[in-house]
Amino acid sequence: MSSKKIVNIIAYIFIAVILIFVFTKGKPVEKPASSEIYSMNTICDLEIYGKDKEAALQKSVSLINTINGIVDDFSPESDVYKINENAGIHPVKVSKTTIDILEKAIQIAKQTNGAFDPTIRPLLVIWGFKNKNYRVPTEEEIKAALKLISYQDIVINKADNTVFLKHKGEGIDLGGIAKGYTLDRIKEALDNFNITSALINMGGNVLTYKNPPNSSVWRIGIKNPRGNGIRGIITVKGTKFISTSGDYERYFIKNGVRYCHIINPKTGKPARKIISITVVSDKGYLGDALSTAFFVKGKEFALQNATRFNVGVVGFDDKMTPFISNNIKELITIYNEAR
């Protein structure tokens, strides 16, 4: 063995001794099992603590991939693709998960008077949000697409596990509910493992699970919708779902007008009443779908309906003025400027 090698080995032992010393002296900080994956058109960050963290992480990632495989309307293998392809032709056999998401989507559609509508797809297509060739469609195109938007045309047959869209040209899009629904399923999965804490973020749809390691509250930043940094903090205790919808992630600007990816199913045009809204909820699917519905309906509706849905809301109206529902006022800090 060369003398250089011996020096290296001694150095390693020395470093190992220091590490052991530091770890045994200080309070042990557990490393989370973590992963960052791209799925459901967004970045998903997972951080899980506790004895079963590795197994729970594996299960969570697999849930994300499985549900993405169901709702991905570009993949010919997906249930949503098959339902859309066979609109007006015949019912399609689908998974139980697809039926579960659709039932929940229809429930929110009814409760929001169709502000949330899972049959929004034809409108997303004509505005170019599906192929990213953004464009302002003609009034005729909008009128024609509006005729195809109707959640009442989703026919679910639970005995056969089939779904049918009544008319040709109709199409389902679950982009406004799938991430929140997936977080519900992840939460359920975590309950069956020995997990002390977890934070799952799917592109602005967040699950806080139990409390953070070394703290009794989670502090979740409210993104600045017009620029970098954050405009506030939401303080939450324990397991919650926090969903944000805004006009600043997916949009285009034409002749000085901003057109975003959330479309008002009544007018056929991108919603523009507010800039962003965050919903704090005990149910992931509910928070996700409601953030989209409230974005369409605007500030007054959101504030008036928050308690009815047992959720809290915080957002910015079209003048960037913040608004907060009374039931979560004490949980919110808003900064005058981005930080």
Asked if 275 and 268 count as a contact pair (C-beta separation under 8 A), the reply is: no
Q: According to the binding rule CB under 6 A, does residue 277 interact with ligand ADP?
A: no
What residues numbered 62-121 form the site for Mg ion, per CB under 5 A?
Answer: none
Binding span for ligand ADP by CB under 6 A among 44-52, 134-142, 285-293, 330-338: 285-293
Enumerate residues 6+ apart whose C-beta is below 8 A from 324.
Answer: 312, 313, 314, 332, 334
Phi, psi of 254 (to 5 degrees): -130, 125
Bridge partners, residue 234, by sequence: 220, 332
Q: Which residue from 288, 302, 313, 315 is in contact with Mg ion, where contact means CB under 5 A?
A: 288
- Residue 243: how many CB atoms within 10 A of its CB? 30
Asked if 314 and 332 count as a contact pair (C-beta separation under 8 A), the reply is: yes
What residues numbered 223-262 form the site for Mg ion, per CB under 5 A?
Answer: 245
- Residue 62: how many CB atoms within 10 A of its CB? 11
Q: According to the binding rule CB under 6 A, does residue 324 interact with ligand ADP?
A: no
Which does residue 175 touch among ligand ADP, Mg ion, none (CB within 5 to 8 A, set by kind)? Answer: ligand ADP
Contact flags string 186-225 toward ligand ADP, x per CB under 6 A: -----------------xxx--------------------
Distances (CA, A) of 83 to 25, 93, 110: 59, 9, 21
Contact flags string 92-111 toward ligand ADP, x per CB under 6 A: --------------------
- Residue 248: how many CB atoms within 10 A of its CB? 15
Q: What does DSSP assign to residue 88?
A: T
Where do we find the tokens 């907060």?
324
Where do we find the tokens 């992840």?
186
Binding span for Mg ion by CB under 5 A among 23-31, 75-83, 170-178, 225-233: 170-178
Size of residue set near Mg ion by CB under 5 A:
5
Q: What does DSSP assign to residue 280?
A: E
Size of residue set near ligand ADP by CB under 6 A:
22
Cβ at position 236, least distance to ligand ADP in Å? 18
Nearer to Mg ion, 50 or 72 (CB): 72
Q: Which residue from 176, 225, 284, 312 is in contact with Mg ion, where contact means CB under 5 A?
A: 176
Q: According to the binding rule CB under 6 A, does residue 261 interact with ligand ADP?
A: yes
Rounded Cα distance between 171 and 42, Å, is: 22
Nearer to Mg ion, 39 or 292 (CB): 292
Cβ at position 332, least distance to Mg ion in Å? 19
Q: Which residue from 60, 276, 292, 305 is in contact with Mg ion, where contact means CB under 5 A?
A: 292
Q: Which residue from 122, 171, 175, 284 is in contact with ligand ADP, where contact means CB under 6 A?
A: 175
- Residue 289: how many CB atoms within 10 A of its CB? 32
Enumerate residues 6+ apart whose C-beta is below 8 A from 230.
Answer: 221, 222, 223, 224, 335, 338, 339
Q: Write out the residues near ligand ADP by the rule CB under 6 A.
A: 116-118, 120, 124, 173, 175-176, 203-205, 245, 249, 261-263, 265, 288, 291-292, 295-296
